[in-house]
Chains A and B, each alone.
Chain A
């Protein structure tokens, strides 16, 4: 049929995978990416002498860390490890407590005020955009170096993440039980506890556990800016040039992160 209708245009019609707009936008993207990469490579200030012996220096660094000196573990590292774990856990608890309040404020089915919703959403975005290490710098300036600053930093940074997912879970709650409670004349707190909580509980627990896993990683770093824990031990070891101790701290961080990941996976499979 097609050949009969217009034999000339039929063989001109070529199949193309992407539309013209898609191809144009992709080309724009490739061009921009190329320009950005070339610009960065040409203007970044890297001293070439540093670059030439970088592999050798890096290998040298790890050679100095080996063998790890286990004698440091009872002296310094164990305390730092415990501090890191408590920082992560307490920070997560604090974050979840604060995030629950903000999540209730953000959830449109509980708080029926656009202004309050937007304020809550702003809090979530603002706390999340500032990384835990930058929060730690603030809290070190305010409370002095130590685990307190680290805990608060973890808590502040986690509000955004936990609050966002919690508010989504609350908004997905079925209205039936809540309407029944309201119709029975239940006070607001009872509606929250008996109407929303049972529906949100699984999401709440899995979000908390997931965030705890992330926070274990993060709290191991906070010490580098004065937030206590393993990071502080690493910083001290590196500035004292105790390479075997630094190697031990790195090893402990590796183990802790792996264990946290396994524990989280187990807990999540039991909750869900």
Chain B
């Protein structure tokens, strides 16, 4: 049979084109990745024996978690812990939202004098870099165990996140309206209320809804290091090898996280 569509390549000169040539960069990357995995496992002292022993242990562990414990005294503990987590999240979000506006405005380079703005920015970076749990452990050392440490830690975390976004939103807004208000001779506070806030409020509410969601998640964590709430209950249950109660708490935390997602979705819809 003769191929009419393409002239037959002269066997001497043309190099045959391969449809799917071997992709050497990707292959090398895969080999490097595999080598890294082996190296990292040796550094972290991960070995097959340890994994096997762990899996055997894990099966026993999982079997002890089922069925989840719904005894009345446990449910009471669970209820108290969840309530405290909820309170921590609500207070931290409220205070965080209130304080993040002034901090965010201070950090905006188009509104506040530069030295002040850079100081505020440095503070925000400091707040944002540390995980809420690390801030929580510091506050536990500073003000003692309990809900106060958790609230303070989540306030700091909320401030870091919200102020940064407020500062960005303020820097992106139109200055014309601000100048119009300024031209009337308005004092600074009126300038902020009439010129700045209307421009950033819609986005700010969206950020706040996200922060509420995130604080609900983190309120379950701060307790692990002594910050109060359901995390403390969870940690105690782990220490007492109360694994069936652990499962109950984890299910409750998952429910809390989902409620948080629904709530922040609702909040965003209400304010579009």
Contact = CB atoms under 8 A, between A and B. Distances in A.
Nearest to A194: B20
B44 A87 contact: yes
Interface string B97-130: 0000000000000000000000000000010011
Nearest to A256: B129
B141 A221 contact: no
A133 B224 contact: yes
A45 B141 contact: no
Contacts, number: 159
Contacts of A220: 131, 134
A83 B43 contact: yes
Contacts of A138: 61
B76 to A, nearest CB: 15
Contact of A90 (B44, B91, B143, B270): B44
B214 to A, nearest CB: 11
A221 B238 CA distance: 18
A130 B44 contact: no
A147 interface: yes
A90 B37 contact: yes
A137 B152 contact: no
A44 B58 CA distance: 37
A202 B252 CA distance: 37
Interface residues of A, number: 63
Nearest to A82: B43
Interface string B18-54: 0010000000000001001100110111100011001
Contacts of A86: 40, 43-44
Contacts of B45: 146-148
A147 B142 CA distance: 28
A62 B152 CA distance: 16
A58 B144 CA distance: 11
Contact of A221 (B131, B234, B272): B131
Interface of A: 22, 25-26, 28-29, 33, 36-37, 39-41, 43-47, 50-51, 54, 57-58, 60-61, 82-83, 86-87, 89-90, 93, 126, 129-131, 133-134, 137-138, 141-144, 146-148, 151, 194, 217-218, 220-221, 224-225, 228, 231, 234-235, 238, 250, 253-254, 257-258
Given A47-B144, A235-B137, 10 more contacts: A40-B86, A40-B90, A44-B147, A45-B84, A54-B143, A54-B148, A89-B36, A90-B40, A133-B224, A151-B46
19 contacts: A29-B267, A39-B87, A40-B86, A44-B84, A46-B148, A46-B151, A54-B143, A58-B138, A86-B44, A93-B37, A131-B220, A137-B234, A141-B238, A147-B45, A151-B46, A221-B134, A250-B134, A254-B126, A254-B129
Interface of B: 20, 33, 36-37, 40-41, 43-46, 50-51, 54, 57-58, 61, 83-84, 86-88, 90-91, 94, 126, 129-131, 133-134, 137-139, 141-144, 146-148, 151-152, 217, 220-221, 224-225, 228, 234-235, 238, 243, 250, 253-254, 257-258, 267, 270-272
Question: 3 closest A-B pairs (Cβ-Cβ)?
Answer: A40-B87, A147-B44, A143-B54
